[in-house]
Amino acid sequence: MGTTIKKQQLQQVGTSWVGNNNFENPFETKLTKKERILLKETFQRLDDPKEIVGMIFLDIVYDIEPDMKKVSFIDRVPKAGMLRMPKFGGHISRFTDLSAFQTTNMLGFTENLAGALQLVRKSGRAHARQGYLEANQHNFERNYFEIVMNVFNERFIPFLTGQELPAPGDKDKKKVRFAQTYTSSQITEVWKKFFNLIAVEMADSFEVERTRQRNAQSQKTLAPHQHIEESERRKKRMQVQYYCSLHYTFYLKLRYFKKLTKGLCSSNINLSILIRSNSELSV
């Protein structure tokens, strides 16, 4: 009879949950394979998703939540010139390419569910470096991630279902090869679930990263008596470095002096041999 080997459990590394057996990937547990394929196929039908995302973000920062303009320091830019701003345009491109295109592609095509989750949580951690969000984001009072995703539920999904048509003069809607036919209710339900998962994961990773940064900052902040102790330790370190530099300088000078005296001694010996040989020849 043999004993069963206990399975080793992986631990969380830093702020990443990828590879942790104790953590359930919501993209795997709360989205079926058919729903993940629906996300990819319906998103690929959009002709210019960046333009749609840009219009939605413009409405968010100017009409729905004007304080969000402070996130990118663009609060004084008029609405007409907002899309030409590098920071705002870059944010739209990253949201479209990373959060939407790559994530739906990972979920519905390559089935890289861990990579999709890591991508979303990485985006949430990156927002912790924004000063305005770091000070004002709150999961229970003012959750900006939830506000943005709720707006996308209302404004972005109609373009996927066909209820909101592209502007006149645009290209025809893309046709995805071997794509299935979905009803409007199916598309709405799955995309709402997808946006809600993104909001939860980004808010959670944001909170983890903000807590980590605040803990690191609090460790740097010392009490009054700790400042005195730290200054004394700094003085001792400076004294040690000073004496070490003196000893090293003395060592270099001593080496140079030894080489110099060694050369003089060898030259005196050669001179005495030459004088002795000359005296013998003269005899």
5: CB partners within 8 A, 6+ apart: none
Angle, alpha carbons 219-220-221 (nearest 5°): 90
**pLDDT above 70: percentage of residues in the chain:** 70
- The predicted pLDDT at position 258 comes to 72
Q: 127 vs 17, 91, 120, 151, 209, CA distance in Å? A: 18, 11, 11, 19, 9
Q: Tell me the angle at which helices 184-220 and 144-155 cross, rounded to the nearest 10 degrees.
A: 160
Angle, alpha carbons 203-145-17 (nearest 5°): 25
Of all helices (H) and strands (E), which one includes residue 164?
none
**Exposure string (b/e) for 52-87, b if CB count within 10 Å is 16 or more?**
bbbbbbbebbeeebeebbbbbebeebeeeebbeeee
How confident is the model over 5-48, as pLDDT tens digits? 444 443 444 444 444 555 689 999 999 999 999 999 999 888 88
For the chain, count helices (H), then strands (E).
11, 0
- The predicted pLDDT at position 30 comes to 93
pLDDT mean over 236-261: 77
The per-residue pLDDT of the chain, averaged, comes to 77
pLDDT mean over 218-229: 67
Which residue did the predictor score with more confidence, 7 or 252?
Answer: 252
Residue 175 binned pLDDT confidence (cut-offs 50, 70, 90): low
Which residue did the predictor score with more confidence, 171 or 7?
Answer: 171
Which residue did the predictor score with more confidence, 265 or 157?
Answer: 157
- Burial group, residue 270, by CB count within 10 angstroms (0-12, 13-18, 19+): exposed
CA distance 21 to 8: 9
What are the boundaries of each domain within the chain?
Answer: 26-167+180-222, 224-261
CA distance 111 to 228: 57
Of all helices (H) and strands (E), which one includes residue 249?
helix 224-282
For 61-65, 99-103, 139-143, 278-282, which range has the lowest pLDDT when averaged over its residues?
A: 278-282
- Candidates 128, 276, 143; CA nearest to 214 is 128
Is residue 39 within 8 A of residue 194, CB to CB? The reply is yes
Residue 213 pLDDT exceeds 80: yes
- The predicted pLDDT at position 238 comes to 84
Please tell me the pTM assigned to this model.
Answer: 0.66
- The predicted pLDDT at position 198 comes to 93
CA distance 157 to 227: 56
The token pair at 41 is 């196929």
Phi/psi class of residue 77: alpha, beta or left (left: φ > 0; alpha: ψ in -120 to 50)?
beta
Which residue did the predictor score with more confidence, 61 or 197?
Answer: 197
Residue 219 pLDDT exceeds 80: no
CA distance 26 to 117: 8
- The predicted pLDDT at position 221 comes to 66
Q: What is the CATH number of domain 26-167+180-222?
A: 1.10.490.10
Residue 194 binned pLDDT confidence (cut-offs 50, 70, 90): very high
